[in-house]
Amino acid sequence: MIDFLWNLGSFVVALGILIAAHEYGHFWVARKCGVKVERFSIGFGKAIWRKTGQDGTEYVIAMIPLGGYVKMLDERVEDVPEELKEQAFNRKSVWQRIAIVSAGPIANFLFAIVALYAMYLIGVPAIKPVIDSTIAGTPAAQIVVKEPMQVMAVGGQKVRDWEEVNLALAGHIGDSEVEITLAPLERLEGSDSGQHYILNTKDWQVNPEKQLPITAIGLGMFRPSVLPELAMVSKDGAAGLAGLAVGDTLVAINGEKYTDWPRFVEIIQNSANKLVSITVRRDGEQLSFDVTPKSRENAAGKLEGVIGVAPTAQPWPDNMKVQLEYGFFESFPVAVDKTWQLVSVSIKMIGKLFTGDVSVKNLSGPISIAQGAGNSADVGLVYFLGFLALISVNLGIINLLPLPVLDGGHLLYYFIEVITGRPVPEKVQEIGFRIGAALLLMLMSVALFNDFSRL
């Protein structure tokens, strides 16, 4: 329940911030174009707070935090007094209307830059993208790794940490090939030299629900050596329910002496719904527990066992740690570049949804967004700022889709008006709004279904 309330609270805060940024874009440009704004609302439904400003605009926070709106004076919606008609939205030039409507998505992109600027100004602790192996049967299997190698670029795009590698690879899902640039970890700082590999990804299958693009393409992420001591035991996992606890040292499994973590995981994964005996050392005493691993479906669609434990890992080597922190002026171009990366990948992913290269199962709805908000807020401010930037970019792009109920649909009508010299007929617009609403409802239904299926 506490996790649910935390996720819900983080979701409301995140959505409120992003909606406020989006609607303020419409509001600010509308006022600059001489349009009278009657109401600026964050949320829908009954008002829980309202105030009328000196500008005559009513500012509202409503009960349902799933959207917002800016109500402008418009003769198409209501009767407008003669003396106020020049301040009506519909009386403005088509280019002014285009500016007002496009200002919302643009504000989302600008907000992403601001959020990322603050994130890089504060500093983000990260791990260099270093590999020590590749996975057989994957596109990356052709790479022979003799020493730790750092991923320098993906598809010609420089990367600094694993999050950027993952993001860059996601943008290449469905492509026939991907270029990966690697260099020895101990290369000279500032050197652009590296080995370029062209990976054949024609048959590359990625299921983002179950694996990261990094793993799917076959890059073996370097990890510090693992100790046999348990650092995490899930209370509702098979191990926790059987009696294992944090601090237990693994001694044996099914009578086989514990040698390393991969072998232990292999036995557990091959024992879904089958009883296994795990021997541990606790406070100098040797104890045995009967554990029945729960089952889950892996990336290949096969059942594997899980018991809900994690080992203690040695600290990351200092030469693999990196602090993504920049100065007051340097943070701005980095934030702009990162925002462009997010925009580029998001547009590619939406395009691949329509071409079928990416499954609609990857669509996420409010539940997944709420979980992401809660998780990022739980980790810290800098990660929450990064989450806000990502969602803000996606909100801006989605609103630019040419669906009549979205900003992009309105812009489509206005650009048709620019070309033809006359507005799109009201009846045509009404039919478009109905079709757009139906398509949007369908997309939301798919996203919600995906959310529930992941619970």
Alpha carbons 383 and 377: distance in angstroms, whole number: 7
pLDDT of residue 438: 75
pLDDT in tens, 109-143: 999 999 999 999 998 888 889 998 888 888 988 88
pLDDT average, residue stretch 5-33: 83
pLDDT digit string (tens) for 405-420?
789 988 999 999 999 9
What is the pLDDT, as a whole number, of residue 369? Answer: 45
- SS3 of residue 110 by DSSP: helix
The answer to whether 397 touches 346, Cβ cutoff 8 Å, is: yes
Q: Does the pLDDT at position 359 exceed 80? A: no
* 426 catalytic per annotation: no
Of 433, 430, 426, 425, the C-alpha closest to 408 is: 433
pLDDT digits (tens, 9 = 90+) for 187-230: 544 445 678 999 998 888 776 666 778 888 989 888 888 889 99
124-224+315-324 carries CATH number 2.30.42.10: yes
Q: What is the pLDDT of residue 336?
A: 94
- Of the pLDDT bands very low, low, confident and very high (cuts 50, 70, 90), residue 366 is very low
Res 376: pLDDT: 46
User: To the nearest whole percent, how much of the chain has pLDDT over 90?
Assistant: 33
What integer pLDDT is reported at residue 247 of this predicted model?
Answer: 92
Task: Confirm if 374 and 3 have CB atoms less than 8 A apart.
Answer: yes
The pTM of this model reads 0.75
Q: Is a pLDDT exceeding 70 seen at residue 88?
A: yes
Which one, of 346, 355, 358, lies nearest residue 392 by Cα?
346
Place of tokens 């285009």: 98
Quickly tell me which residue has 């990502």 as its tokens. 390
The whole-number average pLDDT for the span 299-305 is 77
Q: Which range among 43-47, 286-290, 332-336 shows the weakest confidence by mean pLDDT? A: 43-47
Taking all residues of the chain, what is their mean pLDDT, rounded to a whole number? 83
Assigned token pair, 263 = 């072998």
Residues 6 or more apart in contact with residue 453 via CB below 8 angstroms: none
Buried b (16+ CB within 10 A) or exposed e, 347-372: ebbeebeeeeebeeebbbbebbbbbb
Concatenating the DSSP letter of every residue in 368-423 gives HHHHHHHHHHHH-HHHHHHHHHHHHHHHHHHHTSS-TTSHHHHHHHHHHHHHHSSP
Portion of the chain with pLDDT greater than 70, in percent: 85
Q: Which two tokens stand for residue 266?
A: 């292999």
pLDDT, residue 373, reads 44
Q: What average pLDDT does this structure show over 366-376?
A: 47
Catalytic site residue from 23, 163, 164, 426: 23
Q: Where in the chain is the domain with CATH 2.30.42.10?
A: 124-224+315-324, 226-313
pLDDT score of 96 = 94
User: What pLDDT score does 378 carry?
Assistant: 47
> May I ask the CATH class of domain 226-313?
mainly beta
- What is the per-residue pLDDT across 246-262, written as a single tens digit (0 to 9) for each? 999 999 999 999 988 98
Q: What is the DSSP letter of 248?
A: P
More confident call, 148 vs 356: 148
- For the chain, the maximum distance between any two Cα atoms, rounded to a whole number of angstroms, is 90
